[in-house]
Amino acid sequence: MAVPTAAALRLHNGFETIVSALVIAVALAFLVFIQIRTGTGRLGSYELRAKMPSADGLKLNADVRVGGIKVGSITGLDVASKDYSAIVAFQIRDDLFLPTDSVLSVTSPGLGDPYLTIQPGHSRNRVAPGGVFPLPAGRAALQRLTKGRATGLVP
């Protein structure tokens, strides 16, 4: 086995320095890319939950979108034992604070997986991190009417 010479060691150290500089340059370029793409430079998020009549094919890690743009993902799915509605836990970017009158729905595209769509409302009140979106009053009333018609209670 040959013993490396001092000149060979200096050449090898120079190569390592160049490769290390390239790795750092790529990492900085990635951070600049994230800043430009998200507009905030923050990659943080916070969790919310929503009580919905149906989760219609949502899966863990499915997209959460506002205006067609991915802003988060589904982190949990459960069923409420009291009224059997779906409880959907999701995380969204920490620079978005949703109005309390926002409307959540499940969108099932022709091709691709279903995702949670959020249509922001106009309320000045915001849902705090860890907050819960209730079942919309209009939809709950519609469900009561539908149930009543099915049983013959509502003319």
Q: What is the pLDDT tens value at each position of the chain, 155 positions in all?
A: 666 666 555 656 778 888 899 999 999 998 888 766 655 555 678 999 999 988 889 999 999 999 988 998 999 999 998 989 999 999 998 888 899 889 999 998 888 899 999 999 888 888 888 888 875 554 444 444 334 333 333 33
Cβ contacts of 96 within 8 Å, gap of 6 or more:
66, 71
What is the domain count for the chain? Answer: 2
What is the pTM for the complete model shown?
Answer: 0.62
How far apart CA 141 and CA 79 sit, in angstroms, is: 20
91 with 127, same domain: the answer is yes
How far apart CA 46 and CA 125 sit, in angstroms, is: 17
| Residue 127: HSE in the Cβ half-sphere, 13 Å Cα cutoff | 25
Domain that holds residue 99: 45-134
How far apart CA 43 and CA 105 sit, in angstroms, is: 25
25 with 81, same domain: the answer is no
Residue 149 resides in a domain: no
Q: What is the pLDDT of residue 110?
A: 84
Residue 57 resides in a domain: yes
Tell me the CA distances in angstroms from 76 to 48, 55, 87, 114, 136, one per residue in order.
10, 11, 8, 15, 20
80 with 127, same domain: the answer is yes
34 with 72, same domain: the answer is no
Q: What is the pLDDT of residue 23?
A: 95
124 with 87, same domain: the answer is yes
How far apart CA 71 and CA 63 sit, in angstroms, is: 8
Residue 151 resides in a domain: no
39 with 87, same domain: the answer is no
76 with 127, same domain: the answer is yes
Residue 146 resides in a domain: no
